[in-house]
Structure 1
Amino acid sequence: MHVTELLERVALVEAQAHARYGLTGAVGYFGPLTAVYAAPGLVLNTAWHGGSGLPSSEDLNAFEAFSGQYGQAPTLHLLSHAAPTLLPELERRGYVLTSMPHLYTRHLRDLPPVGDFAILEENDPEQWAQWSAQGFGGGLDIMQAVARAPDTQLYTAWLDGQPAATAAMSVTGGVAALHGTSTLPAFRGRGVQTALLAWRLHQAVEAGADLASVFVTPGSPSERNVARAGFALTGLRLTFRQS
């Protein structure tokens, strides 16, 4: 599959999956944009550009009105294949680039071994969110929103009889999106996230996925982990906020 086609596929499923965060708030569709208002102050209150088409001026106007209705600064995610064409219009409207994580993808064949860690699917979203927030050092509200979202699988890795790390996965359109990665401070540097990464790849195959995707901070330990697990750098996720 050509890189542009791969980016379009990931963008489409990310936009589709993004809607689940607005089920307790609001979801708006504006051309190729899927916008969500989840709860006050959440970073999930954004729009995703999905697929190959570009939003019209009318689409952007409607999205900005949707954001204003909930007191949110319009914030938009798009992948790097769409950025060159849309950037002039976003600049004209006063949007500024706020983050640019790397997108890695991996076809689900020749998977790495799972290893010997005890990894369990977590059935208590609130408990998972608390452990995840401890690993992040805050952000309980966002992890609760992630944990409660429909069609999200939650995992906890255990070491020495204690919860050591968390991770999440959602499968949409055959693409397994890996997210919710967090390691509690006492267990860092022991390979637990590598094990959770491999575990989710195997779970993704069982769920019928043929591709996995993950966003990571450039130069981070997470980026090194996904590269070692056979992921390839595919593009960027650009986030723009209207100032």
Structure 2
Amino acid sequence: MSDPATRLAHAEAAAHGRGGTRERFGPLVAAYHGPDLPLNSAWHDGSAPLTEADLLAFEAFSTAHGAPATLHLLAPSVNEALPLLTARGYALTYVLHAYTHDLRDLPPAPTLDVRRSDDPDGWAAHSALGFGPGSEPIMRVVAHLPGTQLYQAHVDGQVAGTAALGLTEGVAALFGTSTLPGRRGLGAQTALLAARLHAAHAQGAELASVFATPGSASERNIRRAGFRLTTLRLTFTRNS
């Protein structure tokens, strides 16, 4: 298996923009999904150094869609790109921990009732209950992205948590994890992690990935599920 960070960068860029307007500028894959959505951004695929021409083209794409120029890079690509990003007026706005899991080593199967959902809008409504007010529009977009597999964990017959899975180039991306108010501490996140790892392995994926806010409860669950910290995802936004 090749370097996990390299595989992750390629897979995230390849998946970026499914279901939206998508353009490539050198190693950047830019996407636009609609007004004021955090999916409006670009991913650096790690294949080549970023050039000023790449950035100028991406900035024109962002301006044409009325979106801020926001891009994601994994840490191995940042040092080389940082002088150019600084010169173009970009500032670091967010950092996430990027974890990976070798799918040859799976955790135990979940003990809670975890099911696939074929109701994207219902899934999005439940997911938004966990993420909080104002999150349903973005979760509805996420639920309808091509290739997205939706999961729900149930406790006593009621939805306790939601999560999503997408497979690209043998890498399983785990995202959209949410626990409903009043259902926290019942093991929903742990069950959803395990269920998606087993599902990804059954579908031929070799590596799973997930991003986490440093120090969060989700990060602790991710570590317990056997994920290893691989690198950082750094988000830069150009000052207007």
TM-score range, shorter chain: over 0.9
Report the TM-score, using the length of structure 1 for normalisation: 0.96
Query: Which runs of at least 4 in structure 1 moved beyond 2 Å after TM superposition?
Result: none
Match of 1:156 among 148, 152, 157: 152
Tell me the distance in 2 between the aligned counterparts of 1:89 and 1:69: 22
SS at match of 2:141: helix
CA contact (8 A) 1:165 1:183 kept: yes
Give 1:95 shift. 0.3
Aligned to 1:121: 116
Cα shift readout 1:7-38 (whole Å, capped 9, x = no counterpart): 1210111011012041xxx2111011110110
Cα shift readout 1:55-108 (whole Å, capped 9, x = no counterpart): 221111100000000111100000000000000100001001010000000100
CA contact (8 A) 2:110 2:192 kept: no
Aligned to 1:15: 13
Check 1:21–1:81 CA distance in 2 against 1; reply closer, same or farther (3 A cut): farther
CA contact (8 A) 1:21 1:36 kept: no
Report the TM-score, using the length of structure 2 for normalisation: 0.97
CA contact (8 A) 1:103 1:235 kept: yes
Q: 51-60 or 200-209, which moves further after superposition?
A: 51-60
Aligned to 2:196: 200
Which amino acid counterpart does residue 199 of structure 2 have in structure 1? Q
Tell me the distance in 1 between the aligned counterparts of 2:227 and 2:157: 31
**Does 2:173 align with 1:212?**
no
Q: 109-118 or 98-107, which moves further after superposition?
A: 109-118
Aligned to 2:30: 35
Tell me the distance in 2 between the aligned counterparts of 1:213 and 1:181: 13
Tell me the distance in 1 between the aligned counterparts of 2:214 and 2:42: 22
Percent identity for Structure 1 against Structure 2: 55
After TM superposition, the structure 1 = structure 2 runs for residues 81-120 of structure 1, keeping only pairs within 5 Å, are 81-120=76-115
Which amino acid counterpart does residue 184 of structure 1 have in structure 2? L
CA contact (8 A) 1:9 1:51 kept: no
Tell me the distance in 2 between the aligned counterparts of 1:136 and 1:97: 24
Q: Can you give the 5+ residue segments of structure 1 that lack an aligned partner in the other structure?
A: none
SS at match of 1:193: helix
Give 1:112 shift. 1.1
Q: 49-58 or 208-217, which moves further after superposition?
A: 49-58
Give 1:46 shift. 0.1
Tell me the distance in 1 between the aligned counterparts of 2:68 and 2:155: 42
SS at match of 1:48: strand
Which amino acid counterpart does residue 67 of structure 2 have in structure 1? Q
Match of 2:172 among 170, 176, 183: 176
Give 1:116 shift. 2.2
Give 1:6 shift. 2.0
Which amino acid counterpart does residue 57 of structure 1 have in structure 2? E
SS at match of 2:18: helix
Match of 1:236 among 203, 221, 232: 232
Tell me the distance in 1 between the aligned counterparts of 2:61 and 2:168: 25
- RMSD of aligned Cα (Å): 1.0
Which amino acid counterpart does residue 7 of structure 2 have in structure 1? R
SS at match of 1:236: strand
